[in-house]
C-alpha cells in the first residue's frame, strides 16, 4: 500500500446555508470528540488533556471565521465551492 493515501471528503458548490450545515456538523463532531477525550482523561487520570483543550479552542475559532465567510457570501448572493481533501500517511508507532 502507498505510504500516503488521499481521499476527497467534501467536493462541490454549496449555498452558504448548505456549506454551513456541512462544515458546522463536521466541526461539532470534532469538538464532541475532543470533549469526550478531555472528559475521559479527567476521569481516568484526574487531569485535563491539553491537546484536546487547545483543539477545541482552535475549532471554535474556526467556527467563528467560517460564520463570517458564510454571512459575507449570503449578503452578496454568492455560492461557495468547497474541496476538502483528507491525506493519510503511514508513520512508525512511537510505543
Per-residue pLDDT of the chain (95 residues; tens, 9 = 90+): 889 999 999 999 999 999 999 999 999 999 999 999 888 777 777 776 688 899 999 999 999 999 999 999 999 999 999 999 999 999 998 86
Q: Which residue has the cell 467534501?
A: 10
pTM greater than 0.85 (yes/no): no
Rounded to whole angstroms, what are the CA distances from 58 to 54, 74, 81? 6, 24, 23
Q: Using the 8-state DSSP alphabet, how is residue 78 labeled?
A: -
Instruction: Give the pLDDT score at 19.
Output: 98
Distance (Å, whole) CA 91 – CA 19: 33
Instruction: Give the pLDDT score at 49.
Output: 67
Amino acid at each position: 500500500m502507498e505510504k500516503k493515501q488521499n481521499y476527497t471528503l467534501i467536493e462541490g458548490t454549496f449555498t452558504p446555508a448548505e456549506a454551513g450545515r456541512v462544515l458546522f456538523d463536521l466541526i461539532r463532531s470534532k469538538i464532541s470528540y475532543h470533549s469526550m477525550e478531555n472528559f475521559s482523561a479527567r476521569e481516568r487520570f484526574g487531569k485535563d488533556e491539553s491537546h484536546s483543550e487547545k483543539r477545541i479552542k482552535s475549532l471554535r475559532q474556526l467556527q467563528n471565521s467560517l460564520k463570517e465567510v458564510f454571512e459575507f457570501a449570503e449578503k452578496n448572493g454568492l455560492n461557495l465551492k468547497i474541496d476538502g481533501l483528507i491525506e493519510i500517511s503511514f508513520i512508525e508507532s512511537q510505543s
